[in-house]
Amino acid sequence: MALKTPEQYEESLRKMNFKIYLMGEQVKNPVDHPIIRPSMNSVKMTYTLAQDPKHEDLMTATSHLTGKKINRFCHLHQSTEDLVKKVKMQRLLGQQTGSCFQRCVGMDAINAVDSVTFEMDQKLGTQYHDRFIKFLRMMQEEDLTVDGAMTDPKGDRSLSPSQQADPDLYVHVVEKNEQGIVVRGAKAHQTGAVNSHWILVMPTMAMRKEDTDYALSFVAPADAKGITYIYGRQSCDTRKLEGVEIDVGNARFGGHEALMVFDDLFIPWEQVLMCGEHEYSGLLVERFAGYHRQSYGGCKAGVGDVLIGAAAVAADYNGAAKASHIKDKLIEMTHLNETLYACGIACSAEGHKTASGTYLINLLLANVCKQNVTRFPYEIARLAEDIAGGLMVTLASEKDLCHPKIGKMVEKYFKGVASISTEERCRILRLVENLTLGTSAVGYRTESMHGAGSPQAQRIMIARQGNLEHKKKLAKNIAGIKE
């Protein structure tokens, strides 16, 4: 197959048997559930654009394993050009969906696991890399959406995994036998989990010897027996249940997060990619985090393009587009957005080849990219709210606009520029609301802070990789100070 059509992707999800709970009820048909479906549509776009010859260069790649054309989300980066195209692809998808399109985590996970398992096997004589390559071949051939699972609930942050009062607050091995392992625990904040075919679990932090049972990586079908999903709430999410379109803001696309619980999940040995090699857990976390922090320079810039455009349209509809302060705010939003993108491109262009042949980004610049992402989208959102005006959050509902009696009042008094219909003005203001406060804000505003690690996590990596001693030597040399 190599490349699924969007229709084949949707049909493949219908054949899966997920155990999903949403607002206290088990979901029997997640594909058509009104809250979940917009997120599925976002993933579906990654398949739609891959079929479009206009976007073939960004959306597809040539497999280094088979020589076949594959979706770029299933590809291992073979050059800095691949790293750059990844960021450009992510910006394109952000522009097309105005939301999180969810496949980035799996793409970043396979690239990190590839190089780390290769180096682990070289040093320890394990067989993890061969197992991973077997899985990757299947992923590429079937064009699978894979959910990368790293973040554990963590419990008491002052205690290590093995010190927790409840051992299940970190994913861990509870049994080993000739056939495989049994695991318990959970992964939190799982982006696109119920839109995925497989999951790729990784350790959440650098482990010490006493945390050996928690140094764990494996793959499993996303609907495997023993996995339960608890779907996360989002701001304004129940608007999708009201049978309206305008009030949702972005009715077609969205993202989602879920809590993924493992209740004595059995994993056969051929699907185990790390089991106790605690000394490599930190390296895997570092590389995955680096790839994912690079990703934000693409996807957040793409969604930022939509928000900047929405703010500019709102200014047009308000009759304020010619005001100098509005123009200046749009310039500032553009400056901040392009800075995010520039960092994503820079860490890609400065990438290098690992021992397995897969290319890794410049980790320092990737962390600088994500550090900017923890700040700039918030200012872009603030400026968008400023430009849109207070009506963005006091607007009457779509049902009021369509009401036979009060609809004329809403139409009359929520009018802006005379040539623009009130409905069009409502639509653009609801989009700004959605991107800054609503369901899409999860994948833009809040995720910018905590996705791919908290701001402090990036600052720690910047401190490690900033090479301060080298900078001191440069200064001493210029100042004429002898060592």
Q: Which residues are known catalytic residues? A: 100, 104, 191, 257, 292, 296, 299, 447
8 A C-beta contact, residue 218 and residue 171: no
Alpha-carbon Rg of the chain, whole angstroms?
A: 23
Cβ(340)–Cβ(366) under 8 Å? no
d(CA 215, CA 281): 6
Angle between helices 80-97 and 37-50 (to 10 degrees): 130
Residue type, 467: N
Q: What is the C-alpha to C-alpha distance for residues 271 and 218, in angstroms, rounded to an integer?
A: 6
- E strand or H helix that includes residue 44: helix 37-50
The answer to whether the CB of 229 falls within 8 A of the CB of 164 is: no
* Cα gap 473→483, rounded to integer Å: 8
Q: What is the signed CA dihedral for 27, 93, 111, 47, rounded to 10 degrees?
A: 60
* Phi-psi label, residue 23: left if phi above 0, alpha if psi -120 to 50, beta otherwise: left
